[in-house]
Amino acid sequence: MKILEEFKAFVMRGNVIDMAVGVIIGGAFGKIVSSMTADIIMPPIGLLLGKVDFSSLYINMSGKVYASLAEAQKAGAPTLNYGIFLNNVINFVIIAFVIFIMIKQLNKLQKPAKPTPATAPTTKECPFCCSTVAIKAVRCPNCTSQF
């Protein structure tokens, strides 16, 4: 039972819960970026490059001729899907850039740590005998000099 209590304490720590929320949001964010790349960014790029659909670019390694990537995959032919890889690279670059911008903005929003105020001294040194004296003292207890 002790192991279950330790596990519960581990899971309920703030860092683990924050990390879990981050992973879930990151997964959803990744789907949004994938859709943006595949459905919004890549079609205009493909149009500019001669009406190319990057997700359908592949190299057929079977020696047979197939009309499309889907047809080659359905037949079980080995293919190198470099168009899908290119889409994934673009997804990664977009996600990395957005995270960079978000972290940069979060760092700007965070207030700089306030320096800790120096505590006022509670003692001073007697200029005559160099002994330590309370800050409010008007006479040194060692040499009886007046300050």
Express each pLDDT in 87-107 by its tens digit: 888 878 887 887 788 888 888
Q: Is the pLDDT of residue 113 over 70?
A: no
Give me the residue spans of the domains in the chain: 2-110, 117-147
Confidence of residue 84 (pLDDT cuts 50, 70, 90): confident
Percent of the chain with pLDDT over 70: 95
Q: How far is CA 109 from CA 76, 91, 101, 104, 130, in A?
A: 53, 27, 12, 9, 49
Closest alpha carbon to 87 in 49, 51, 29, 46: 46
Residue 119: per-residue pLDDT: 78
Q: For residue 133, what are the β-bridge partners? A: 124
Residue 78: per-residue pLDDT: 92
Q: How far is CA 17 from the centre of its chain?
A: 16
Q: Is the pLDDT of residue 67 over 80?
A: yes
Confidence of residue 8 (pLDDT cuts 50, 70, 90): confident
Q: Is the pLDDT of residue 21 over 70?
A: yes
The CATH number of 2-110, from 3.40.50.720, 3.50.50.60, 1.10.1200.120, 3.40.50.150, is: 1.10.1200.120
